[in-house]
Amino acid sequence: MLIDPRFTQLAAGLTGFSTSLKKGEHVLIDAFDIPDAMVIALVRAVRSRGAHPHVQLHRARISRELALGADEPQYAHHAAVELARMQKMDAYIALRGSDNIFEASDVPSNRVQLVSRLMKPVQDHRVGRTKWVVLRWPTSAMAQQAGMSTEAFEDFYFRVCTLDYSRLTPGMKALAGLMERTDRVHIKGPGTDLRFSIKGIGAQPCGGLRNIPDGEVFSCPVRDSVEGVIQYNAPTVYLGTSFDNIRLVFKQGRIVEATANNTKRLNEILDSDAGARYIGEFAIGFNPHILEPMRDILFDEKIAGSFHFTPGQAYEGVGNGNKSQVHWDMVCIQRPEYGGGEIWFDDKLIRKDGLFVPKSLHKLNPDYLLGKK
């Protein structure tokens, strides 16, 4: 079968740089509504490294139908089977396409929460015990979200996803080191005045090893330290529902007030469990190719000049111990055209209007990453 060279290049990066597959390792290729040719490119790339490919194909309309009638006996059994398989894997590569990002919008929230709760052990094992990478697949629906033609969006997608992520390494290392030494964080911007501590939490650079596209360093607030208010300015889709203008108010780490264009559904999600009203991640994004939100979080959370502040589950290793079935990356962009903003670490200005201020972090600014400096 003749394969698009861009598919082959992407597959090589996913099996090489992102997951570093070794001879004899087993990898699960989880394909959600993507072309057979890309799956075949991945199978070939896995085999070329002497590893063993395993493939699971998903279709969104079928997944929706299953979720509409989800009950505990069915999904408890399903989760046990999936966990047993995941425990046999050394690596996991997921490509997620979608012809309709709202396909699951009419699945009742109690069914969604049931599936999320029962499948969580599978996700926890995959995140904590395998080498993994997750990425979207370019579709006409995504092009519409981005306000671009299908051809232009595909060109953008492959340019972003085949970026030389090693160029991010020096700046990410410097930012992670600074975050590890930081106690107090203060974020200011239109509608936002937020204070919290990241003391002792640590920081994790993300440069193409877990998500594609990539370009962030994440940490996590001390669980009860968050105080103030945040006004997000990027739209978001979560559990099949679209949200705009989310505003959260915090006291002693907990979200005590939450409003949006769909305040009722927002609070239903935040009431999923006790941990959903606490923050599980704070991250700074800097991918120079990604400038505008498109309601796809794997892209939006990497927007140059953005940060995300995430209600719900914290990551192991760089987390505050918060547990939840929710992990909702909500994004705020601080470049001038979005109103600007500032990030301060221990009373020192770190980023202003989307650009890093300390000389040690200039290598994360767009001009450097795009080779203009």
The separation between CA 301 and the C-alpha centre of its own chain, rounded to angstroms, equals 6
pLDDT exceeds 90 at position 104? no
pLDDT exceeds 80 at position 141? yes
- Contact status, residue 227 vs residue 251, Cβ threshold 8 Å: yes
Instruction: Tell me: do 125 and 190 sit in the same domain.
Output: no
pLDDT for position 54: 98
Domain boundary among 161, 178, 205: 161
- Contact status, residue 104 vs residue 33, Cβ threshold 8 Å: no
| Residue with the two structure tokens 């089977």 | 81
Which residues, listed in sequence order, are joined to residue 229 by a DSSP beta bridge? 193, 249
Domain boundary among 137, 161, 185: 161
Q: What is the DSSP letter of 165?
A: G
pLDDT for position 365: 96
pLDDT for position 46: 98
Q: What is the mean pLDDT of residues 69-80?
A: 95
The total domain count for the chain is 2
Q: What is the mean pLDDT of residues 64-81?
A: 95
Which DSSP helix (H) or strand (E) runs through 257? strand 254-259
Residue 234's domain spans which residues? Answer: 165-369
CA distances from 264 to 240, 259, 268, 271 (A): 15, 8, 6, 11
The structure's pTM equals 0.79
pLDDT for position 160: 87
Mean pLDDT of the chain: 94
Instruction: Tell me: do 170 and 148 sit in the same domain.
Output: no
pLDDT exceeds 80 at position 372? no
Assign residue 131 the CATH number of its domain. 3.40.1830.10
Instruction: Tell me: do 156 and 169 sit in the same domain.
Output: no
Instruction: Tell me: do 242 and 103 sit in the same domain.
Output: no
Instruction: Tell me: do 173 and 156 sit in the same domain.
Output: no
Cβ-Cβ contacts under 8 Å for 52 (sequence gap 6 or more): 24, 25, 26, 27, 46
Cis peptide upstream of residue 138 (ω within 30 degrees of 0): no
Instruction: Tell me: do 241 and 154 sit in the same domain.
Output: no
Domain boundary among 138, 161, 184: 161
Instruction: Tell me: do 82 and 220 sit in the same domain.
Output: no
Q: Which tens digit of pLDDT belongs to each residue from 153-183?
A: 999 999 888 888 888 999 999 999 999 999 9
pLDDT exceeds 90 at position 101? no
Instruction: Tell me: do 352 and 252 sit in the same domain.
Output: yes
Q: What is the DSSP letter of 313?
A: P
pLDDT for position 215: 94
pLDDT exceeds 90 at position 330? yes
Instruction: Tell me: do 172 and 276 sit in the same domain.
Output: yes
Which SS3 state, helix, strand or coil, does residue 290 take? coil
| Residue with the two structure tokens 């203008």 | 245
Which residues, listed in sequence order, are joined to residue 186 by a DSSP beta bridge? 195, 344
CA distance 249 to 95: 35
Instruction: Tell me: do 142 and 170 sit in the same domain.
Output: no
CB-neighbour burial class of residue 242 (10 A; exposed 0-12, middle 13-18, buried 19+): middle
Instruction: Tell me: do 180 and 311 sit in the same domain.
Output: yes
Q: What is the mean pLDDT of residues 124-144?
A: 91
Instruction: Tell me: do 287 and 251 sit in the same domain.
Output: yes
